[in-house]
Structure 1
């Protein structure tokens, strides 16, 4: 099948009528479900049932007719003369959407359960500076969807790059063959391990609830009794069983959520870019180009690191109002796959040339912000409830404050801004260890702020702005960061590579 067919008006797959009808039917059910419940519960007379049935039949026939008309009116094509992708739609009011090739950022595929059942794909075209999807073609065969996506991305690239001199080095060195270079599939066992070792807060909260429940049951008197009453033992046993059930249920929920989101995760690297496909209920397929990647975040923790599981979060160019929309989370990757993905995105290793650490004032600020609510709560408790056991509460608060201070100290020691010839990398985290990578030439601006109370010490807060999000770094010496800023601004101005 040739891509020349898209230069003439095209319609969706014929099965798209079924998809349009099912979508409209779902909306009808949402709006009129109360009527159906009324007819089932109230046992109305036959006349009401007859007219309700007639009304339902007319509504269904009208919906089917509307679906057919919508299908016939929905047309799309490529207009080379206008350098645009054109979409025409609408039954009662005609709507024409014109998207210039230069505005096209991504062409992605999505499928829900119904689309899987009828064998069609939804093609979503994202454009620069848009909060919402500009165009979604909901019913194309896989072959036509692949051809259309490839054609639009090629035309978008040609529009942005008029000569080969403006191509990035990665594009020039890219092999001409379209064969698969490497691929990775997340198997069921790895997905299960990912689900079982995720969402620790849910399990921790249940365990804390278990501890305090048992403690309250055993603390019914000031002195621990020699013999615990049978009723208390029964209640404690019931609580233990309930907690175990909650733990198992919580674990099952986490595993199910993980399977629904990331089932059949498949990464394919070829000449077209890096294709990422995942999802059971809502299947998503995204084609990532290295130059469109603005920010890359690598996340792991001690348990996942032991299991050789890493997560990447890719941030693409997006509007400032909706940065989350263009963030793609890819979990369950081995260290080898993470290295391959970073090699494609950046083509070179990160070699640190300079390291910048925050001032110790940041540590004291973190500790103060963390313990202030606790200290305030204890003071209020002592003032308004004088009968509370002050010693026990004081000891507990002291232990908690010490734990918070120790945690913040070790967290502070992990905060680091590393600079290389081409990259910025921010590291942080004790349990969830995060690394943010940002290429210098993709920076849009660098902002520096200095509160009055830090002026004497010469401390500033710095923020690096990109189209995919910001990296903030607080409380560094101005004299230490200025040479780095000057170098970064020089790299931004002296680089002509396209960043979108």
Structure 2
């Protein structure tokens, strides 16, 4: 057993900043308003901040971690002590975040996901050196591989071979420009401007900005419409430039690589993030094509794992094989990195009665919008001259709803290929789901009143995921397919029995 280790001392600064970042602006504004004269409550705030800083130091001293031969032990808490112990074999994937400030100091954050339920499903090394994070990941990978290669370790117990990674994808300038347009990054300026405008009233009491408002209003009144168009064009250009810069910073260093056992994803120029997962831990593959991406024939490939990204905390989806890949390139990359998963281009469509079933489902968005429009026409007399226009909007919403249902019928497809199942659904956008029978933990068949009338059903698969199970629903399938689906899934027990027997041998 190795000696217990502490996080990097920069952990104290990070934790203290996470506390004071919500206090700094109100405290600074109050000091400016009071002309730098301190009151009793401001002294109290400084005293509380000092106590919190001391508490962070104590917590840094008391929280430690230990790496043994097969297990990670983490001691947490100050007043209430807690010990987490997780075997290396339970770790599903590793997530590493290195914000720009962390890179300057030479530290990073490492999160190990197990895919288990409860509070002990994740171990987080909040602030450790980059070299220490690399050492931990190599140790986990070595121990994980040793469980499958015991015979090789008996022959050469002291030799640890480091496999070379194969780089599968790194975006070009063309890929990044395409990503900046299809991700709508240029519109990121709009919420920023709206946020700044909403803060003007709060700053009026401290900063004299009334003169700026008067000058802006005078300029708008005096200038011609040509000048306004020029200003609009300038704002659009600025938005495009900001969007392109944002995309380059986020995806400029995107790399997808793999070795014999793992898949590695790295992204970010200033704020770097990385994701690694053992190939056998991949539960399913999802290919998403929202409407705009379908127009440009690009797709996003996501790897579903039991210890995937916790989206309640994560800002970026780092478990994606670059969200703006051409569809054919995405499918080719899947077959290269994960040869077990082959995307089948020819799939089975639904029978014609499924179309009538989808069209018979009420469009609640159209019903609600029509009710609102009718209420406006009745209770707002000023809108009555525009009745035809309002009901035209209602008709347009109904047309979109019908078109979406027709597209959903055409896009809903399926195929069962041996131990694999591939399903696809969607209207204006599509989502393709590919998984293996042994990775599916539960299946079900649902039937509503309208489905019973058309002799149809909905099949549902459940795979392990995080923070919840990943479920995929295929609606409007015929009953014989649902029966075949159950028969296909029953063979899972036989496959698992064979795998367990092989492991015992």
Name the TM tier (shorter chain). Answer: 0.7 to 0.9
On the 8 A contact 2:184/2:243 being kept in 1, the answer is yes
The answer to whether residue 370 in structure 2 is matched with residue 371 in structure 1 is no
Give the equivalent residue in structure 2 for 1:347: 340
The answer to whether residue 184 in structure 2 is matched with residue 199 in structure 1 is yes
Q: Residues 395 and 42 from structure 1, CA distance in 2 versus in 1: closer, same or farther, beyond 3 angstroms?
A: closer
Give the equivalent residue in structure 1 for 2:129: 141
Give the equivalent residue in structure 1 for 2:418: 421
Of 26, 34, 40, the residue aligned with 2:26 is 34
- Deviations, residues 438-486 of structure 1 (Å, cap 9, x unaligned): 2222111111112244335422121111113011011222123312321
Q: Residues 261 and 478 from structure 1, CA distance in 2 versus in 1: closer, same or farther, beyond 3 angstroms?
A: same
Of 81, 86, 98, the residue aligned with 1:111 is 98
Query: How many Å apart are 1:116 and its aligned residue?
Result: 0.8
Give the equivalent residue in structure 2 for 1:296: 285
Give the equivalent residue in structure 2 for 1:173: none
482-491 or 335-344, which deviates more: 335-344
Give the equivalent residue in structure 2 for 1:97: 84
1:399-410 matches, cutoff 5 A? 400-410=397-407
The answer to whether residue 346 in structure 2 is matched with residue 361 in structure 1 is no
On the 8 A contact 2:347/2:415 being kept in 1, the answer is yes
Give the equivalent residue in structure 2 for 1:218: none
- Deviations, residues 55-85 of structure 1 (Å, cap 9, x unaligned): 969966x7776655544434322234xx431
1:58 and 1:202 map into 2 onto residues whose CA distance is 40
461-470 or 377-386, which deviates more: 377-386
Of 329, 332, 345, the residue aligned with 1:336 is 329
1:361 and 1:18 map into 2 onto residues whose CA distance is 62
Of 153, 158, 163, the residue aligned with 1:178 is 163
On the 8 A contact 2:405/2:427 being kept in 1, the answer is no
Of 10, 15, 18, the residue aligned with 2:10 is 18
The answer to whether residue 2 in structure 2 is matched with residue 8 in structure 1 is yes
1:481-500 matches, cutoff 5 A? 481-491=482-492, 493-495=494-496, 496-497=498-499
2:150 and 2:360 map into 1 onto residues whose CA distance is 52
Aligned residues: 448
Query: How many Å apart are 1:240 and its aligned residue?
Result: 4.8
Provide the secondary structure at the position in 2 that maps to 1:193: helix
Query: How many Å apart are 1:39 and its aligned residue?
Result: 3.0
Q: Residues 124 and 403 from structure 1, CA distance in 2 versus in 1: closer, same or farther, beyond 3 angstroms?
A: closer
Q: Residues 318 and 357 from structure 1, CA distance in 2 versus in 1: closer, same or farther, beyond 3 angstroms?
A: farther
1:304 and 1:200 map into 2 onto residues whose CA distance is 14
1:391 and 1:285 map into 2 onto residues whose CA distance is 55
Give the equivalent residue in structure 2 for 1:437: 434
On the 8 A contact 2:113/2:308 being kept in 1, the answer is no
Q: Residues 402 and 127 from structure 1, CA distance in 2 versus in 1: closer, same or farther, beyond 3 angstroms?
A: closer
Q: Residues 399 and 347 from structure 1, CA distance in 2 versus in 1: closer, same or farther, beyond 3 angstroms?
A: closer
**Superposition CA RMSD, Å:** 4.4
255-264 or 436-445, which deviates more: 255-264
Query: How many Å apart are 1:372 and its aligned residue?
Result: 2.6
- Deviations, residues 3-52 of structure 1 (Å, cap 9, x unaligned): xxxx4124257xx213422431452353465344333331356xx59998
On the 8 A contact 2:273/2:318 being kept in 1, the answer is no
Give the equivalent residue in structure 1 for 2:305: 316
On the 8 A contact 1:461/1:476 being kept in 2, the answer is yes
Query: How many Å apart are 1:365 and its aligned residue?
Result: 3.6
Query: How many Å apart are 1:306 and its aligned residue?
Result: 8.0
Q: Residues 240 and 130 from structure 1, CA distance in 2 versus in 1: closer, same or farther, beyond 3 angstroms?
A: farther
Q: Residues 304 and 280 from structure 1, CA distance in 2 versus in 1: closer, same or farther, beyond 3 angstroms?
A: same
353-362 or 297-306, which deviates more: 297-306
Specify every segment of 5 or more residues in structure 2 that has no aligned partner in the other structure, as ranges: 152-160, 192-219, 501-505
On the 8 A contact 1:291/1:345 being kept in 2, the answer is no
1:239 and 1:372 map into 2 onto residues whose CA distance is 40
On the 8 A contact 1:290/1:346 being kept in 2, the answer is no
Q: Residues 352 and 491 from structure 1, CA distance in 2 versus in 1: closer, same or farther, beyond 3 angstroms?
A: farther
Q: Residues 59 and 272 from structure 1, CA distance in 2 versus in 1: closer, same or farther, beyond 3 angstroms?
A: same
Query: How many Å apart are 1:243 and its aligned residue?
Result: 5.4
Query: How many Å apart are 1:364 and its aligned residue?
Result: 0.8
Give the equivalent residue in structure 2 for 1:221: none
Provide the secondary structure at the position in 1 that maps to 2:5: coil
Q: TM-score, normalised by structure 2?
A: 0.73
1:73 and 1:51 map into 2 onto residues whose CA distance is 31
Provide the secondary structure at the position in 1 that maps to 2:319: strand
On the 8 A contact 2:251/2:268 being kept in 1, the answer is yes
1:240 and 1:429 map into 2 onto residues whose CA distance is 39
On the 8 A contact 1:74/1:90 being kept in 2, the answer is yes
Provide the secondary structure at the position in 2 that maps to 1:447: strand
Q: Residues 484 and 235 from structure 1, CA distance in 2 versus in 1: closer, same or farther, beyond 3 angstroms?
A: farther
Q: Residues 483 and 369 from structure 1, CA distance in 2 versus in 1: closer, same or farther, beyond 3 angstroms?
A: same
1:58 and 1:451 map into 2 onto residues whose CA distance is 58
Specify every segment of 5 or more residues in structure 1 that has no aligned partner in the other structure, as ranges: 1-6, 165-175, 207-230
Give the equivalent residue in structure 2 for 1:86: 73
The answer to whether residue 273 in structure 2 is matched with residue 284 in structure 1 is yes
Give the equivalent residue in structure 2 for 1:265: 254
Query: How many Å apart are 1:186 and its aligned residue?
Result: 2.3
On the 8 A contact 1:356/1:476 being kept in 2, the answer is no
